[in-house]
Amino acid sequence: MLLTVNLGNSNMRFGAFKSDEDIVSWIIPTKPYRTEDACFEEFEGMYEAFGLKKEDITQIVIGSVVPPMTGAVVNSLKRIHKIEPKLVDRNTPSGVKHQSNQMGTDLYANAVAAHELYKGKKIIIDFGTALTFTGIDEKGETLGVVIAPGIKTALKSLIEETAQLPEIELKAPEKVLGRNTVSCMQSGMVYGFTSFVEGMIDRINKEVKDDCFVVATGGMSFVYAPLTDKIHIQDALHTIKGLRFLSK
């Protein structure tokens, strides 16, 4: 069984592929950064809760955008499974072609999954620590990337930089115009970012002269995808599916 690990700035998403469609997935917070021994202790017992055994794992692929944690995760999993994990990055061969020497592994994996799974021009929106838009054409050529502050990143900044704004649940309020502090903030964070996403999709479509197929992924994608018909599919496991393709 293949184990994929997407090591991101906020969370590590693990995915155990029983088959292409049968995927057992869970997340563990990336911070605070841990030592190899701490990762070993945390990871060794994580499978039982998901009906898995560590002996089920026969292959491991890891993508990371967090260099301080990469070695600890790679080495701890190697100790647990007695398997050499495959560490992939933007230089790992695939059907995707790009000219950037700065593309993050997560964005590359997103592009790879979109190229393998969907036809035509695509936009992959990743609602993670950063809010990113990656464009890729039907031939696997990357068209470019947009990077903006992520939803939780923006909300945290808003709360920390103001004296009286509270923590809120990120959900759509009943009306756009709020009548109390919480609903006002929810409108700005949910409807405001939805409008931003829709506007970026329109601008990208205009620039590439096509109506792109839009995939939403990342931890907050489930909040925003249902609010717009410009997002065609929401898949929280999209990035680890890209890692699976890179493992081959």
Which pLDDT score is estimated for 101? 84
Residue 73 pLDDT greater than 90, yes or no: yes
Is residue 232 very low, low, confident or very high in pLDDT (cuts 50, 70, 90)? very high
Domain with CATH 3.30.420.40 in the chain: 2-88, 120-236
Q: What is the pLDDT of residues 17-72, one digit of tens each?
A: 999 889 999 999 999 999 999 999 999 999 999 999 999 999 999 999 999 999 99
Amino acid 142: pLDDT: 96
Question: What's the pLDDT score for residue 67?
Answer: 97
pLDDT of residue 47: 96
Provide the pLDDT confidence category of residue 99 given band limits of 50, 70 and 90.
confident
Determine if residue 128 is left, alpha or beta; phi over 0 gives left, psi from -120 to 50 gives alpha, anything else beta.
beta
Tokens of 167: 């923590």
| Res. 102 pLDDT band, cuts 50 70 90 | confident
For the domain 120-236, what is the CATH superfamily, name and number?
A: ATPase, nucleotide binding domain (3.30.420.40)
Query: Does 234 have pLDDT greater than 90?
Result: yes
Average pLDDT over all residues of the chain = 96
Fold designation for 2-88: Nucleotidyltransferase; domain 5 (3.30.420)
Which residues belong to the active site?
106
Cα–Cα distance, 167 to 158 (Å, whole number)? 10
pTM for the predicted model, two decimal places: 0.94
Which of 168, 167, 165 has the alpha carbon at shortest distance from 223? 168
